[in-house]
Structure 1
Amino acid sequence: MALKKHLAGAVFAVVGATAAFATATQAETYKWITFKPQGAGDAQARSTQWYVDEFKKRTGGKDEIQVFWGGSVAKTGEIPDALGAGLGDFGDIITPYFPDRFPLNNAVGFFIPQPNGPLKIAELMAEWHEKYPQFEEELAKANIKAVGYRPLESYGLLCTKPVKTVEDLKGLRIRSYGFAYPALFEALGASPVSINTAEAYDALSRNIIDCTPIGPALARGWKYDEVAKYYIELPLGASFGHLIGMNLDTYNNMDEATRKVVDQLNHDYSVTYNKMLEDDINAVREAWKKDGVTVIDFDKNALDDVVKSDAVQAVRQQWIKRAEAAGVEPDEIVKQLQP
C-alpha cells in the first residue's frame, strides 16, 4: 500500500513537472528515474548526464530527457515496477537486486570469478540480448527494454590485513552476497559473512569482517578505504551492475529515427561509461599512494582450481538450469564466462 501511494504521488509530480517543461520548450521530453544523487560525481552519474546530453544533440533538440535524481520518483527497489508502469521512460535497474525476477540478465552473478572486464561484459550483454530473444522477453514481462549496460569495475578484495596467497585467505571473514561469492569464499577456506553495502564500513572498522570484494572506485566512493588499507588484486573479474532500461511502450512508440538514436547510444554509452570508470579507478589508485593503501599483487591463476570445486560448479549449474528452462542453449555463454 505504501509503495502504491508513493508511486501515485510520484506520477502526479512527474507528470506535472514534465508538462510544464514540455510547454516551455515545445519538445518531446522523456523522464529518467534514478536512485543516483545528481552531485555524486562518479562514472555512473556522469555517464547518465552524458547520455542525456547526447540524446538531445543526436535528435537535433527535437527530443530530450529530464532526469529525476536521487530516488525522487522511485527508490532503488521500486524502479523496475515504476519504469514498467510508466512513471519513467528511462531508468537505472540494479539487476542483481532482482535475481529471481531477471535470472537470465543476472548470468554474470553466478559466474564469479570470470575473466572479463566491464567493457567486455557490456559487449557480452548486448550480444546475448541480440542472439537470445529470451533475455529481452524476460524484461518485456515487466514492460521494460534494455537500452544500455553499466557493469561494475573488476573486483579484488579490500582487507584490513595483508593477503598474499590463497593460504592467507583461510579463516578470514569476508563480506558476501548473491550466489557465487558465498560458494567461492567457502571453497577458499574463508567464512562468508552476509552484510549489506551500507553496513560494510562499520563491519570493517569494528573487525566484524576482514575483507570485502570491491573495486577501487567503489571502495573510495563508500569510504571503505578509510578503514581497510590493503587492496588485494584477487582476479574476480567485473561484476554486472546496472541495466539502463526503458519503458517498453515508450520505446515502441518512438518514431524510427529516435529509436535509432537510442539503439546507437546503447553501444556508445558502454564505451563512454567504461572510459569514465577507468579514469575514476586510475584517480583512486593514484590517491592511494598518498593515503597509505597498499596494493598487493596476486597470482592471476590462483582461483583456477577453486572454480572446479563442487560448490562453485553447483552455483553455475543453478544458472545453467534456469537458462535451459527458458529455452536458452547455455554452452556458449558459459564458455565466455569461464576463467
Structure 2
Amino acid sequence: MAPFANPLLRAGLVAATLTAGFGQHLAAEDYSDVTLRHATGLPQTYPMVVTTERFNEQVTEQSDGKVKFQMFWGGSLGGMKEALDLVSKGAVDISDIVPGYFISQLPLYSMTNAIPHTFMDPAAAIEALIEMGKTNESQIAEYEANNIKPLIFRALDNFYFLCTQPVKTMDDFKGLKVKSFGNYIPKMLEAIGATPVNVIVADAYEAMKRGSLDCTYSSFPDMEAYKLHEVAKYIVDVPMGGIVAYSDSMNLDAFNKLTPDTQALLTRVGEEVTLWWNEQSEADSARAKQAMLAAGAEMVAFDDPEALHAAVPDMVALWVQAMEDRGMGDEGKAYAEALMAAYDKAAQD
C-alpha cells in the first residue's frame, strides 16, 4: 500500500521573508506554552498505548518542550465509556474515544468501529477515515457537534475465532457461545449458527475457563494480551476483517485556542503516528500469533472458508438500514458510499 500523503505544515511552519541585503530568513514557530491533560482508559502495559507515548514525546520534542502532557493511565479520570463526555466538556484535553460506545453521538464515525467482516485491510480503513475527516462535510460536522478533534487513529488487525475446541466446519459453529459486542457482531454470529454472548474482552478468560463461553472473537494482540490462549487454544484460520479501534481525540475548543503552529504540529504528528501504527500493526499481529503458537495454541484449517464468508450478511447494507431507521437514511447512504470508495482506493494503492 502506498503511504498516505501527509499534508504540509500550514501557516506559520515555514515563513520566508526577502529583505534587501539579508536574503531569506525562516520565522521561528510560535508554539503555545501549555500542558495538556491526556487521559486513557487503558493501562500503560497495553500494546497500542505505544502510539500515545510516541505522540506525546514527539510533540514535546518538536515544540522544544513548550507543549507538554500530563498523562492519566488506566481510567483514573474515567473509563472508556466516559471518554467522549470527558473530552467534549473539557474535563480532560485529550482522551481515547471508542466510537462504537457512542453510536448515538457518533453514528458516522462509529461505522468503521462497529461493523465486522468488511475491512480486510484495516490500514486502508484508517486512511479512508482520515480522508473523510478532511473532506466529508457530514463527518466534519459530526466531530464539531461533539466538540472533538481526532488526532491519532488505530486499527486492530484482522479478527479471528479462538475456541476451546477445534472448529473445522460450518456445522461446528452451531450452538457455540461466542464473545460478542456491539450491534452488528451478534448478527454475524447468528448468521453462521453461533450464539452471541456479550462479554468484554477483560472477562473472556474466566468465561471460557468456566465454560460459559466457547469462543472469543478478537484480534491476535488482544488474545495474547489477555492470555486467552491459555484457556482456549484452537484458532480458526480464517481472517474476518479488522476495525478502526479508537482515536485519541482533543477537546475542539481547547485545540482552537492554541496557536496555528501548535495546531499544525498536533495534527501532523497525530497523522504520522497513525501511519506509523499502520506499519506496526501487522507486525504486532504476527508477533502475538507466534507467541500464542509457541505457548501451545494451534491454527485449525477450516474446510470451506468461502462458505463462512458467504454466510455473513452484507454489513454495510445493515449499517445503512440502521441509519435509515434512525432518520438518517440519505446521509448514511452517502457517507457509506464515500467511505467505501475511499477504502477501496486506499486498499488498491
Contact map agreement 2:115 2:185 (CA 8 A) in 1: no
Specify the code of the residue in structure 2 equivalent to 1:254.
L
Does the 8 A contact of 1:148 with 1:244 survive in 2?
yes
1:306 aligned residue: 311
- Structure 1 residue 192 displacement after superposition: 1.5
Q: Check the 8 A contact 2:119/2:125 in 1, yes or no.
A: no
Match of 1:22 in 2: none
| Secondary structure of 1:200 counterpart | helix
| Whole-angstrom CA distance in 2 between matches of 1:297 and 1:92 | 36
Which runs of 5 or more structure 2 residues have no equivalent in the other structure?
Answer: 1-31
Q: How does 1:90-239 map to 2 (within 5 A)?
A: 90-239=94-243
How has the CA–CA distance of structure 1 residues 145 and 247 changed in structure 2, closer, same or farther, with 3 Å as cutoff?
same
1:293 to 297, 305, 309: 297
For residues 328 and 316 of structure 1, the distance between their equivalents in structure 2, rounded to whole angstroms, comes to 6
Match of 2:244, SS? coil
Greater helix fraction, Structure 1 or Structure 2: 1
The 2-side partners of 1:44 and 1:235 are apart by 20
1:331 maps onto 2:320 in alignment:
no
- Tell me if structure 1 keeps the 8 A contact 2:87–2:250: yes
1: CA distance, partners of 2:168 / 2:48: 31
| 1:116-141 deviation digits (Å, cap 9, x = unpaired) | 33322211111111221221322322
| Counterpart position of 2:22 | none
| Contact 1:56/1:63 (<8 A) preserved | yes
Shift of 1:194: 2.1
Q: Larger Rg: 1 or 2?
A: 2
Q: Equivalents in 1 of 2:255, 2:178: separation in Å?
A: 42
Q: 2:11 maps to what in 1? A: none
Q: State the match for 2:38 in structure 1.
A: 32
- The answer to whether the aligner puts 1:68 opposite 2:72 as a matched pair is yes
Alpha carbons 2:155, 2:246 under 8 Å: kept: yes
Q: Distance in 1 between matches of 2:267 and 2:171?
A: 47
Aligned-residue identity in percent? 28
Change (3 A) 1:302 1:66: farther
Greater shift, 87-96 or 289-298, is seen at: 289-298
Q: Paired residue for 1:47, among 34, 47, 51? A: 51
| Structure 1 position 327, deviation (Å) | 6.9
Task: Tell me: CA distance 1:149–1:288, structure 2 relative to 1, closer, same or farther (3 Å).
Answer: same
**How far apart, CA to CA, are the structure 1 residues paired with 2:316 and 2:167?**
22
Kindly tell me: are residues 162 and 337 of structure 1, through their superposed partners in 2, closer, same or farther at Cα, counting changes over 3 Å? Answer: farther
- Secondary structure of the structure 2 residue equivalent to 1:305: helix
> Aligned partner of 2:40: which letter?
T
How far apart in 2 are the matches of 1:183 and 1:73? Answer: 34
Per the alignment, in what secondary structure is the counterpart of residue 96 of structure 2?
strand
Q: Deviations over 1:127-179 (max 9, x none)?
A: 11122122132232221111121122210111111112333222222122212
In structure 2, the residue corresponding to 1:237 is in which secondary structure? coil
The TM-score with structure 1 as length reference comes to: 0.83
Contact 2:88 2:147 in 1 (8 A): yes
The range that moved more, 269-278 or 157-166, is 269-278
Corresponding residue pairs, total = 311
Distance verdict in 2 for CA 1:70–1:193, change over 3 Å: closer
For residues 178-222 of structure 1, give each alpha carbon's deviation from its aligned partner in whole angstroms, at most 9, with x where no partner exists: 122111111111121222323221221122121111011101111
SS for the counterpart of 1:32 is strand
The answer to whether 1:268 aligns with 2:264 is: no
- Give the AA of the match of 1:188: I
Change beyond 3 A, Cα 1:288–1:239: same
Provide the secondary structure at the position in 2 that maps to 1:257. Answer: helix
The 8 Å contact of residues 119 and 243 in structure 2, kept in 1 or not, is answered as: no
**Structure 1 CA distance for aligned equivalents of residues 313 and 293 of structure 2:** 36
* Distance change >3 Å, CA 312–CA 208, structure 1 → 2: farther
Partner of 1:19: none
Residue 245 of structure 1: SS of its match in structure 2? Answer: strand
Corresponding residue SS for 1:88: coil
Aligned residue type for 2:274:
S
Distance verdict in 2 for CA 1:334–1:118, change over 3 Å: closer
The alpha carbon displacement at 1:316 in A equals 4.7
